Structure 1
Amino acid sequence: MNNSVPENERAIWILKNEGEKTLKDLAQSLGVTTEGARFQLLKLSNDGYVKSESRALGRGRPQQFWSLTKKGHGKFPDSHSELTLRLINTIKENLGEETLSQLINSTGEDNLRNYRKMIVETDPLESKVEKLAELREKEGYMAHYEQNQDGDYLLIENHCPICAAATLCQGFCATELNTFQSVLGPNVKVERIDHILAGARRCAYLIQDKTKS
């Protein structure tokens, strides 16, 4: 839990970072009673930040799952979205798509240089993934990594601070994927398996060591 999150927004932060939850699970994450969690959720629901969906899971009573609304996701910053969108449209209209692509590629090259200063080429793959997650977290992507049962890694980004720009021009997403691939090295396969722009709640990247037997 991020200790800097205001008390009345902790539920929003948890749902953003961990995805939908039942009342019981959210109460446990918050460290409060179910009644306390219900009170918070009802207030957030009245304010338009969260919503619930009733879902049957086998036998027994349906359970309610709570998640963020569009307004709830909007509590997390999209870096200067209005200005960025105006700049993108101005570049498209006055200089053309090719110039915009060149600018996006140039930004990707800058990011790659910065990442390479912090990620050592000869380090083990897990160390590289861990450092990449740390860098992305600092950039506002609410990022962390996990290792799955196959020994592969998942880089998970629960927020996209450039979502408005990426929605207008998906070259940002393609460049981002290429940057990850380049910084992790030729013996690594990086695949985006969840994508916010495709409707997922997060972006997630499967990272596999191609030399692993």
Structure 2
Amino acid sequence: MNQETDVSTRRVILTMLKTKGALSVGDMSKQLGITEMAVRRHLNTLERDNLIESKLVRQAMGRPSHLYSLTPVADDLFPKKYQHLALDLLEELEASLGESNVNLLFERRKERLIGRYGERMKDKLFDGRVQELAEIQNANGYMVELEPTEDGGYLLKEYNCPISQVANQYNHACQCELAMFQRLLGPEAEVERTECLAKGGGKCTYAIRPNQ
């Protein structure tokens, strides 16, 4: 069995567990048409990747059986339409209360994020703060690459934007991200956005330089 087939089979197992709930190895073996040994091999890989978990269930008759189900990590693999909901709500807010109130919402979110991450910047110098900011954005799904520059600064490149559909329609979200970076990095840093996904760029790029 080649690697592509293995990956396809594991996807089928994840979909089965999503649609049918907890299943035993025997259940999966029958539905997939493969041996229980082959099913266990796939389950071992999925457990290693923290995508499934097992629970021992005692039967009225016979030996206890392990039932397998998805973990919260696996649930993130399935399509979500949160951005459509967010856009619908923002459009309703704009229609009812005006664009200024939508912008105020983004400002409040920015302040909340600064409050959440500000402690992580304490007692750090310029390089440490930039590294910490890259780690924060990476953890939030922005696929960050940090590139040192000859002037002692960095290019922080974000190849993914989790709120891209929102930012495409409400550019104030991008302005708030820039302002958040500046606040978290402090007066020792100068931050400039030189490329933006929401404006047709291939990524969001921030030039971060030490303030002389």
Q: Give the letter aligned to residue 90 of structure 1.
A: E
- What residue is the counterpart of 2:176 in the other structure? 175
Q: Which residue of 2 aligns with 1:123?
A: 124
Dislocated runs of 4+, deviation >3 Å: none
Unaligned residue ranges in structure 2 (runs of 5+): 1-5, 9-76
In structure 2, distance between residues paired with 1:160 and 1:193: 16
Of structures 1 and 2, the one scoring higher in RCO (CA 8 A, sep 6+) is 1
> Matched residues in 2 for 1:91 and 1:138: separation?
29
Cα distance, 1:198 vs structure 2 = 2.1
**Secondary structure in structure 1 of the residue aligned to 2:202:** coil
Q: Which runs of 5+ in 1 are unaligned?
A: 1-5, 9-74
- Choose from 68, 79, 83 the match for 2:85: 83
Identity across the alignment (%)? 31
**Deviation by residue 1:53-108 (Cα, 9 ceiling, x = unmatched):** xxxxxxxxxxxxxxxxxxxxxx9x88721111101101001121121111110000
Distance 2:202 2:131 in 1: 22
Larger helix proportion, structure 1 or 2? 2
What's the C-alpha RMSD, in Å, of the aligned pairs? Answer: 2.3
Secondary structure, in 3 states, of the residue corresponding to 1:207? Answer: strand
Query: What pairs with 1:28-177 in structure 2 (closer than 5 Å)?
Result: 80-120=82-122, 122-177=123-178
Provide the TM-score with structure 2 as the length reference.
0.61
Question: Could you say what secondary structure the match of 2:187 adopts?
Answer: coil
Structure 2 residue aligned with 1:57: none
How far residue 130 of structure 1 moved from its aligned partner, in angstroms, is: 0.6
Please give the alpha-carbon distance, in whole angstroms, between the structure 2 residues aligned to 1:107 and 1:192. Answer: 20
The CA distance in 2 between the partners of 1:78 and 1:166, in whole Å, is 18
